[in-house]
Each structure stands twice: as C-alpha cells, then as structure tokens.
Amino acid sequence: MKEGYASVEVAMQAEREQVLYTVALYTGTGIEEPDYLATIDVDPKSPSYSQVIHRLPMPTLEDELHHFGWNACSSCYGDASKSRRFLIIPGMGSGNIYIVDTKDQRSPQIHKVIEFAEIKQKTNLSAPHTVHCLPDNVMISMLGDGEGNGPGGFLLLDDNFEIMGHWEKKGSGMLFNYDFWYQPRHNVMVSSEWGAPKTFFPGFDLDDVAAGKYGKQIHFWDWSTREIIQTVDLGEEGMIPLEVRFHHNPDSTHGFVGATLSSNIWHWHKANGHWDVKKAIDISAVEIEGWQMPVPSLITDLVLSMDDKYLYLSNWLHGNICQYDIREPMNPQLTGQVWWGGLLNKGSTVKGRQSAAGPQMLQLSLDGKRLYVTDSLFSTWDNQFYPDLKQAGSTLLQIDCDTEKGGLKINENFLVDFGKEPLGASRAHEMRYLGGDCTSDIWL
C-alpha cells in the first residue's frame, strides 16, 4: 500500500483552512437568479463559523448544479505538477461545465466555462454529472446524448480543461449512466445507472419504472481497454442504483452501491476471477397515511470513511442518517443514526430550524469526525416530494461521528440556513471539503 493511503496527514494539512464548498440552487424555485457556489466557514474558532462567507454565481440561469469535483486528488500523489486548486462544476440542466479557481480559498472565481454547444458538437453528450480526476486528466460521467436520451457516456478533459472526447471505447451494454469509481490496481471501473435525462428531468413517475425507463444494472469495466467486462442486473430489488464507492484502500476489491428506489445497499468484491454482487443492507418501506403504497426510505447518498471502517447513508424520504461498521464488508452492522426532516416526522431541531425535506447529500471530513448533510435532491423531485423546500430553503447540518465505538450526534452549534440567503431561499446539494474529502480521493 502506498504511503499516500497509509498516512493522510499531508492531505489533511489543508483542512486547517476550514472552508466547505457547497453548490446552492435557484433552479426550480421560481427565483430568477443563477445557481451559485457557496463558501462556508466551518472553523469553530472563527467569528463567521457556520456562515456563508462568499457566493459565486454562475453566468447562466437554470444550471441545475448537482455534483462536482476537483482537478486533482490522491490519484496524482507524487506528481509535483498537480495541485488541488480547480473545482469542476457541471450544470446538469444547462449542460455547461464551469471551472472554478480556488487559489483564493475564501473567494473562488470562475476560471473557464465549457459551453454545452461545444460539448454536444464534439461528443454528442449531455447532462454532466460525476467528476473524478485521473492521474493525467479529468473524467465526467454524462447521463445523456446530445438530445437527452440514454445511455450517455464519459467525457475526458485535459489539464487545460479542453475536451478530449469520450473515455469509453465501447459502451455497449449500458442502458443509462450515473456514477463511477475506478480502482486501477485491479484494472477496473464500476459505473451505475439512473435514467435518461428526458425521463427524470420532468419529475418522477412510477409508471416509468415499470416501463423500464430507470436503471437496475451496474457495470464493471476493464480500465485499460475501456470496455464493459461484466454487467450485473440487480433486478427488482436493486432499482435505480446510484452512488458507487470502492474502499479507499487501493489493494481492496470491496465496494458498495446504493439502490435508491429499492432502498438497499449492495456489496461487491472480486472472487474467483469475477465480480460478486450481493445485497448487504435492506431498509424496509413504511406505511404513511395518504400514500397509496409503502414509502421507501430512498437511499440517495452514501460515503465511506477514509479508513474504510464506516459507511454512512442518507434516507431522504424517511429522514434518517445511518452509520454502519463495515470492517466485515459483507456484514455491515448499524452503529448509529440521527433524524433530520423526512416524512416520518421524527426530525430534530437545530437553532429553531428543521429541514423542510430530508437528509440527502453527505460529505465526511478526512479524519472521519464531521459528517455534513444537505437536503435537496433534484429540483423537480424536490418540488414533487417536498414542495415546501423551495420557500423554506435548504439546511446544512453537521453531525459529529464517534470514530472509535461508533455513534452519531447532531452538532447543535452548527447550522447553515439557506432560507435566509440575500436573494431568497435556495437549495443546497453537493459539498466539497478544501484539501479533499472521502468521496473524491482515489489512490493508485
């Protein structure tokens, strides 16, 4: 195992700067303002602790900023020419990709805009989503073709953020696209499936699931040949597999994917020369008055701690965040949970504020002690399932994690209230921690 994984002290030095970057959206709220990148002070000793200290608006409206990532991470370990300086922020709705310079860490600025028209002309791809840095460039999962149909593909950018083209040499076998994670020591990449942009942008329709318009497959790719070598159909118990996470340990073949609609976590590892995938966590649906069917928990995000000891997941509809001990990866054990918003009305209150939705995006500090949580999923789905969110605005919560014995506790001193933003209530989604975080760092 490389020193870069065995000891993260060097990477953790930047955490002392204590800022968290979060995308905040006006898309779908009725407020005619651009989505923006919020810089949040997360230093408990700072007078501006838990406040938005800078807002960087995007140059267009209706971007639907969603997930974003860094130009460099631990896959560039040992390369002195690389630095974690630029954020790559896709507009899933507009199709634009924004390159943001964080040289001034508390006041980042737009460095470059890659227009959708150029992306479509050169690659016929749309709806940019997950961003991962590679040792020599940046890769972005694209959820649709130029017209918003599946299956999409993977876009490569060079060091100057110029379009290189598709990563995949052959994408046959993909029906849809969403998230991905690679593990070079095992010559593998794993990708998951949501649906075509034309399907999910208008809102969620259960009939679309029955019609096969949402994914239920994960794909294992040969990293060197860039072709799918094994596809696993999770079936009716694995509907809409979204977030994928390998262990951070580059020697490990263990990983997890969350099947959102089926509300379960699937584990994979390589056994006897092929990839074995089995269900590891199952969360039961709950009967709620006024609903025609039992309500699934809707697992919308998961994150693994840097030491691969704990898995955290968010149940957007039920309203809880769970911590599982995964030292036995095929047998996760629940060690803690807290409630924030959700349809079961068990949510807590912090500083007089509750979530108007449910816990959604998660981000974990490198030391594993601070879990940050936002509550917006996707603009049309927010409006459908939690219509009050667009007036109330999002919350950003901090949960303190016991990394020795396990356990979660909401930090009563930290809350970012996006309902009080100067231009009106906005909705917060993905977060990135200065210096790196547990959902972006990959070791070679």
Q: Is the pLDDT of residue 16 over 80?
A: no
Q: Which domain holds residue 166?
A: 3-433
Q: What is the pLDDT of residues 387-437, one digit of tens each?
A: 999 999 999 999 999 999 999 999 999 999 999 999 999 999 999 988 778
In which band, very low, low, confident or very high, does the pLDDT at 17 lie, cut at 50, 70 and 90? Answer: low
Residue 439: inside a domain: no
Residue 11 has pLDDT above 70, yes or no: no
From 50-64, 137-151, 159-173, the region with the lowest mean pLDDT: 159-173
* In a domain? residue 438: no
User: pLDDT tens digit string along 259-297?
Assistant: 999 999 999 999 888 999 999 999 999 999 989 889 999
User: Is 103 a member of any domain?
Assistant: yes
Decide if 440 is inside a domain. no
Give the 3-state DSSP-derived string for the chain, with helices as H, strands as E and coil as C.
CCHHHHCCHHHHHHHHHCEEEEEEECCCCCCCCCCEEEEEECCCCCCCCCCEEEEEECCCCCCCECCCEECCCHHHCCCCCCCCCEEEEEECCCCCEEEEECCCCCCCEEEEEECHHHHHHHHCEEEEEEEEECCCCEEEEEEEECCCCCCCEEEEECCCCCEEEECCCECCCCCCCCCEEEEHHHCEEEECCCECHHHHCCCCCHHHHHCCCECCEEEEEECCCCEEEEEEECHHHCCCEEEEEECCCCCCCCEEEEECCCCEEEEEEEECCEEEEEEEEECCCECCCCCCCCECCCEEEEEECCCCCEEEEEECCCCEEEEEECCCCCCCEEEEEEECCCCCCCCCCECCECCCCCCCCEEECCCCCEEEECCCCCHHHHHHHCCCHHHHCCEEEEEEECCCCCCEEEEEEEEEEHHHCCCCCCEEEEEEECCCCCCCCCCC
Quick check: is 195 in a domain?
yes
Q: Look up the CATH number of the domain holding residue 45.
A: 2.130.10.10
Q: What is the domain count for the chain?
A: 1
Report yes or no on 443 lying in a domain. Answer: no
Q: Is residue 189 part of a domain?
A: yes
pTM as predicted: 0.95
- Is 441 part of any domain? no
